[in-house]
Structure 1
Amino acid sequence: MAIPVIGLFVYPNINPFHFSIPHIIFNIKVEDKPLFELKIFSIDGQPVKTEQSMIIIPDGGIELIKSFDLVIIPGWDDFNHKPEESLIEGLNHAYQKGIKIVGLCYGTYALAYSGLLKNKKAATHWMAEQDFSERFPDIKLDQDALYVEDQRIITSAGTGAALDCCLYLVREMYNAQIANKVSRVMVIPPHREGGQAQFIEQPIANSSQDAQINALLDFLRKNLAQHHGIETLAEQTHMTRRTFTRHFKKATGMTLVEWLNNERIRYSCELLETTKLSIEKIAELSGFNNTVLFRKNFRQTYGISPNAWRKAFGIGGEDNQLSI
């Protein structure tokens, strides 16, 4: 039985790491037997220079695309770079033949420019979400997914998510057992919990031009563990409840409850990452009434549990695994 043939596209100034992830995954052998036949192709079949001055020698040019079972575009060099017409035609012809097309990380741009993602769901790195949505409003961008498949088009989030996506492809073309063996070779989990939300930077809100509100925000950040009611805070700032509510929303863009929840979750992340305090103690210090409410809010924000966050980003690794 013939093994699947994978076509890995290379282009000038390609990031070597973007290239290396699918190159490694689809070259792995299980019990000394190859799972895939990997072919590297470029526009014209000529050697390609990466952004780090490495040279990649392809097996051929666009003409190879018709022989693949799956085509991968690993990353992309420039948001403004529309693919060469020969690549666009090749990708569309391959898709019409029933071949699966994959865009890893910014490789989603190449597929979007090619028209393959129109009215489909897609994923890309969270840093490109605003730009991508403005350029391609007819594509349904999933802002949290690690990878998405829609009608034989698969796209993934950032570079690390390319590993998740490639393992997914192995699982789809073979089975979970084979994918698990590949994950063990790579020393990575066969499936990661949560989406991109856990990696997106959540900066502290900028100060406003309202001096009274700024002073209040500083006070609240230092006293997150306390209960704060609108009436009490309005009195503290010498405002009526209605005036306080209006000023707070104008200054922060959020209601008091939304702002406090955001700051409490942010502070809990800091404690999870830098201390070995129990989940119960972190919930208390962050200002949540109980651990059930804390876990619920945390999962709604990041898509994973506080304990999973600690395991991923905490100072003690496996030593920090607490019961949840």
Structure 2
Amino acid sequence: MRQVAVVAFDGISPFHLAVPCAVFGERHGAALGYRLQVCSWEAGPLASSAGFQLQGLAGLAELAGADVVIVPSWRNVDELAAPALLQALRDAHARGAVVMGLCLGAYVLAQAGLLDGMAATTHWAFADDFAARFPAVTVLPDSLYLDDGQVLTSAGTAAALDCCLHLLRCQCGAAAAGQVARYLVTPPHRQGGQAQYIAQPLPANTRDDRLSGLLDEVRASLAQPHTLDSLAARVLMSRRTFTRHFRQLTGSTVQQWLLAERLARAQQLLETTALPVETIAQQAGFGSAPSLRLHFRRRFGVSPGDWRRSFAG
């Protein structure tokens, strides 16, 4: 059994606490070999941000035997976490446990020094503050989550679900993660980053409607040689206007979006078909197997063949 310890605290958001419990707990978590325990260094009962109380929690000793330790958020970015909690996180990391800081939980991991020299993410609204407080950490605010292998961080709120499902996928395989995602009525993996959720002026007009429709068409024809100019011409926009509207809609450039979509298509084909890598490269729009392997390894750190062996369902 994998032991999962979720750290609670006075004033915790029920949603943030519920996310890891929903993914790694309940009957499906037990069926996949997880035992989840909510723990705290604070004496209960603890008040939630919604007004109800939590009681019957385990102590920090639970972290000593945990395979996965999750800090699901943090109550105040100006507050330094308790020394006992920070030391327990360092000890868990030192003995090889996976440590996750979801949303503002990244602040606690950074306070413990576990993110020094690494890339991390957190809620986009606090990215600048986080970067200023922890200059030894490279903040990537556009990412929904980041995985360093042993340390994971996620963007705000619902991105915690993406991060937890990602870890489940890594530990139990794509089929298990997909089954849990279906139970939770959520995609097993979302493309894109949190830039698409940052408040920005987005003009509501027919051109944007056409742009959304164009993206659906491109997703259905990724094998074609799409370019910025060819896509702009299809919606009768200038290159500059199309670029501006595209970034407003997706939070990325055309090339970044195309690469993400093609990699997602390659992942799907690797996991669900027995097609040769050369065929997958053609269907996903990479043109050749070497090109697919190059981009795949850059993004995921493994080869397409390794990905298939790990996640083919």
TM-score, normalising length: structure 2? 0.68
Query: How many angstroms does 1:132 deviate by?
Result: 0.5
The number of residue pairs the alignment matches comes to 241
- Return structure 1 stretches of 4+ with deviation > 6 angstroms: 272-277, 280-283, 289-298
Give the whole-Å Cα distance in 2 for the aligned partners of 1:52 and 1:26: 23
**RMSD of aligned C-alpha atoms?**
3.2
1:167 and 1:183 in contact (8 A); partners too: yes
In the alignment, what sits opposite 1:141?
Answer: 139
* 111 and 278 in structure 1: CA distance in 2 versus 1, 3 angstrom threshold: closer
Three-state SS of the structure 1 residue aligned to 2:76 is: coil
Three-state SS of the structure 1 residue aligned to 2:22 is: helix
Of 99, 102, 110, which aligns to 1:101? 99
In the alignment, what sits opposite 1:196?
Answer: 194
2:232 and 2:238 in contact (8 A); partners too: no
1:122 and 1:142 in contact (8 A); partners too: yes
Deviations 1:3-51 (A, max 9, x none): 2110001001011111111111111434983541100100045321111
* 296 and 134 in structure 1: CA distance in 2 versus 1, 3 angstrom threshold: closer
1:272 and 1:282 in contact (8 A); partners too: no
Give the whole-Å Cα distance in 2 for the aligned partners of 1:144 and 1:138: 18
1:4 aligns to 2:2 (yes or no): yes
1:28 and 1:182 in contact (8 A); partners too: no
2:98 and 2:150 in contact (8 A); partners too: yes
* 273 and 22 in structure 1: CA distance in 2 versus 1, 3 angstrom threshold: farther
Alignment of 1:73-152 (within 5 A): 73-152=71-150
In the alignment, what sits opposite 2:31?
Answer: 33
1:42 aligns to 2:2 (yes or no): no
Three-state SS of the structure 2 residue aligned to 1:154 is: strand
In the alignment, what sits opposite 2:303?
Answer: none
Give the whole-Å Cα distance in 2 for the aligned partners of 1:17 and 1:133: 25
Give the whole-Å Cα distance in 1 for the aligned partners of 2:144 and 2:89: 23
Give the whole-Å Cα distance in 2 for the aligned partners of 1:115 and 1:31: 30
Q: Structure 2: 5+ residue runs without aligned partners?
A: 215-230, 262-313
* 78 and 276 in structure 1: CA distance in 2 versus 1, 3 angstrom threshold: same
TM-score, normalising length: structure 1? 0.66
Amino acid of the structure 2 residue aligned with 1:187:
V
- Greater RCO structure (CA 8 Å; 6+ sep): 2
Three-state SS of the structure 1 residue aligned to 2:70 is: strand
Give the whole-Å Cα distance in 2 for the aligned partners of 1:48 and 1:173: 31
Of 171, 176, 179, which aligns to 2:177? 179
* 54 and 283 in structure 1: CA distance in 2 versus 1, 3 angstrom threshold: farther
Kindly name which structure, 1 or 2, has the bigger radius of gyration based on alpha carbons.
Answer: 1
